[in-house]
Amino acid sequence: MAADPLKIVYIGKNTGNPYFDSITGGFEDACKSLGCEFEFVAPATAEATSQIPFIEAQIQRGVNVIGIAPNSPDALNQVLADAKAKGILVLTVNGDITGNEQYRDATILPVNFDIVGRDQVEMVGSLIGYEGEIAILSATTEAPDQNKWIVGMNETLKSDPKYAKMSLVATVYGDDQPEKSTTEMEALLSNFPNLKGVIAPTTVGIAAAAQVVQSRGIADKVAVTGLGLPSEMRDFVKDGTVKAFQLWSPYNEGWLAVHFAKGVIEGTIKNEVGSTFEVPNLGTITINANNSINTQAELTTFNAENIDQFDF
């Protein structure tokens, strides 16, 4: 008698977010190849409390694995504890509950988030010749990941002599709305006429910043870079508005999560700091401090040469 297939669910931040389509694709393909059942659910809005009923419903349904992109570092503690008490493997995927790690079994992040700020500063530096004024156009003022990266950017600019001639003149917030991001970008250009580069570490912000630069025809004066989706940035890269930007493979997060979950439940992978396991296409993966797992060591850089190879 064959055992029941593993039931895996992934709870996204919100529906209609193209970023999660790619993560879900990784989950789906891995579940197909390993014979698991997969479902994606997400609330309509990216609020912490709106994820709670979805988690409760999945506990009721008797899933084996809950993957979640948490909308809050602490609001989900109680319901995740309930899930763990029922023997469900809880993985935070693409975002962690920093400070409350005991409420999940492991976290799967695309890269070590400590290096994102540093890599983004290097990216914009290489585009502007390591000299001149730069600004940051972020998401909302309270976005935890972006704020962590911004801290990293500030530290890198201060401590690394390589960037001594670059000065960060402003950090502004476009709230991940195209209107607001556009207004903030226009204000940056107006307030800082010598601005050389803009880092927008958010998919909505980088697209809005690129559109402003494109419509003003100032791509040779102001370099826009940051974190973006190839599908949203392709046109801007092809017409030269954006020379290069970065991200990681969201797909691989889903792919790795399923392989890890199946291995842990079947006992072939030990969920302990320092232990290693193999994932097809990704090679040897190590479990780092705090049971944190990364799908790649460095950010992927997209430019005119390689952007057509990515379909997310």
Partner 1 sequence: MSTLRSILLRRESGIAVMIVLFCLAVGSVKPQFLTLDQLRIILLLTPLIMIGAMGQMLVIVARHVDLSIGSMLGVSAMVSGMLYRYVEVMPWWAGLPISIAVGATLGLGNGLLITLFRLPAIIVTLGTLSLYRGLTFIISNAKQIDRQYIPSELKALSQTSPIFGIPWIIFIAFGVAILTYLFAMHTRVGRQIFALGSNPVAAPLRGIKVTQVTLLVFAISGALSGLAGILYASRWGFVNPSNTGAGFEFQVIAAVVIGGASINGGVGTVLGTVLGVLLLGCVAAALPLLGIPGTSQAAIYGAVILIALVIDRSVRRQGIVGLKRAGA
Residue 15 interacts with partner 1 (CB under 8 A): yes or no: yes
CA distances from 152 to 118, 156, 285, 301 (A): 6, 6, 25, 18
240 φ, ψ (degrees, to nearest 5): 85, 0
Nearest to partner 1 of 15, 159 (CB atom)? 15
Place of tokens 């919100």: 14
Closer Cβ to partner 1, 40 or 255, answer by number: 40
Q: Can you tell me whether residue 281 is helix, strand or coil?
A: coil
Nearest distance from residue 3's CB to partner 1, in Å? 32
Q: Pick from 308, 299, 294: which is nearest to 124 by CA?
A: 299
Query: Which stretch in 62-70, 97-105, 178-186, 271-279 sits in contact with partner 1 by CB under 8 A?
Result: 178-186
In this structure, are strands 276-279 and 283-286 parallel, antiparallel, or unpaired?
antiparallel
Identify which of residues 81 and 143 has a Cβ nearer to partner 1 in the complex: 143
Regarding 39 and contact with partner 1 (CB under 8 A), the answer is no
Residue 125 C-beta: closest distance to partner 1, Å: 25
Footprint on residues 80-109 left by partner 1 (CB under 8 A): none
Backbone angles phi, psi at 79, to 5 degrees: -70, -30
Query: What track of x and - describes contact with partner 1 for positions 203 through 242 (by CB under 8 A)?
Result: ----xx--x---x---------------xx-xx-------
Which is nearer to partner 1, 45 or 268 (by Cβ)? 45
Smallest distance from the beta carbon of 12 to partner 1, in angstroms?
10
Distance set, CA 190 to CA 76, 157, 187, 193, 223 (Å): 42, 24, 5, 6, 15
User: How does strand 292-294 pair with strand 195-200?
Assistant: unpaired
The three-state secondary structure class of 307 is helix
Report in angstroms the alpha-carbon separations of 228 from 121, 223, 225: 15, 14, 8
Query: 9 vs 208, which CB is nearer to partner 1?
Result: 208
Q: Which is nearer to partner 1, 111 or 224 (CB)?
A: 224
Which residue from 21, 39, 47, 160 is in contact with partner 1, where contact means CB under 8 A?
A: 21
Binding residues for partner 1 (CB under 8 A): 14-18, 21, 44-45, 140-141, 170, 172-173, 175, 177-179, 182-184, 186-188, 190-191, 207-208, 211, 215, 231-232, 234-235
